[in-house]
Amino acid sequence: MVKSSIYFLSLVLLSGLISCSEREWYKRTFTAEEMKQLSPQLRGGRVYYYQGSVPEQFQLKEAFKMDSTDADLWREFGTARVKRGILDEMYHYYGEAVKRKPEVWAGFRGYLYLYFYRDYERAVADFNLGDEANGQVDYSQGQSHDYMRGICYYGLKDYTTAIDFLDRYINKVMEEEGESWVDVYAILYKGLSLMQLNRLDDAMTEFDRVLKYYTNLSDCFYHKARIYISRGQFDLALKELDQAEEYFKTGYFHQRPYVEVLEQIYLQDIQELGKEISMI
């Protein structure tokens, strides 16, 4: 009799737990306000899955059902397409994100136009849009829009404007933080712009400036060798190329994940330039 009572009470307790669980965890309908709150939680859970994987995309689609106006969600759909080279879908998803939240995502899309697609004019337009929305020169993916505008104008072969924007970024950081906080690649592109304008002494100064902070950047030694060759100083050029090759082989050269950077150097470039000198 006692055992039967215990079993009966246990059954009642279990039924209560199940019904409570159904009420809290298996709710089938949500108010519009609840869905707005749940959507970011689902979107935020993407960190548990590889970006672009089936589980991650399924989770994003569930979030999308709850709130299709979420700009961050549109951008997250677009990012997976960027990394897989699905350009038309990237345009669509990022376009919707920028339309809804230009102050955040315009600069990010500009970053993609610059580095992934080398669409410099669209990149500049997005950096301008982002800055206008924020009322200041902004940063996207950790990079100043002035810095990236400078690279865009380098890609457009407008080297004077490239230097102007690179200097805006460099001088601002120097004033606020000090020269050691300047991204050395901004100085590298300034040096390359000066080379394109045949201001070789000024370019050499910028490459040496980079080497103060990144002492083994292969690119600077390679470009300094080019300048020495133009001056007929072949012995000095060979010394620079030896340094360039040594550091390149240990991975110290300008590069980015997923894409080739503008004016990226390769080991063949260094070695072929050395062969050219040996034939003079």
**Average pLDDT score over residue span 166-188:** 97
Specify the pLDDT at position 39: 53
pLDDT > 60? residue 12: no
**Average pLDDT score over residue span 266-270:** 97
Q: What digits encode the pLDDT tens for the residues 162-174?
A: 999 999 999 999 9
pLDDT > 80? residue 30: no
CA distance 207 to 118: 24
Q: What digits encode the pLDDT tens for the residues 70-111?
A: 888 888 888 888 888 888 888 998 999 999 999 999 999 999
Is residue 114 within 8 A of residue 151, CB to CB? The reply is yes
Q: Return the closest-CA partner of residue 218 out of 194, 170, 184, 179.
A: 184
Q: What digits encode the pLDDT tens for the residues 38-62?
A: 555 555 554 556 565 666 666 676 6
CA distance 128 to 207: 29
Specify the pLDDT at position 23: 47
Q: Looking up tokens 């490239």, which residue turns up?
A: 162
Specify the pLDDT at position 45: 52
State residue 224 phi and psi, 5-degree precision.
Answer: -65, -40
State residue 77 phi and psi, 5-degree precision.
Answer: -60, -40
Specify the pLDDT at position 125: 98
Specify the pLDDT at position 24: 53
pLDDT > 50? residue 2: no
Q: What digits encode the pLDDT tens for the residues 107-125?
A: 999 999 999 999 999 999 9
Which contacts qualify for 49-56: CB closer than 8 Å, 24 or more apart? 51/79, 51/80, 51/83, 52/80, 52/83, 52/84, 56/80
The C-alpha angle with vertex 261 and arms to 144 and 202, in degrees rounded to 5, equals: 70
Specify the pLDDT at position 280: 77
Specify the pLDDT at position 83: 81
Is residue 221 within 8 A of residue 240, CB to CB? The reply is yes
Q: What is the DSSP letter of 50?
A: -
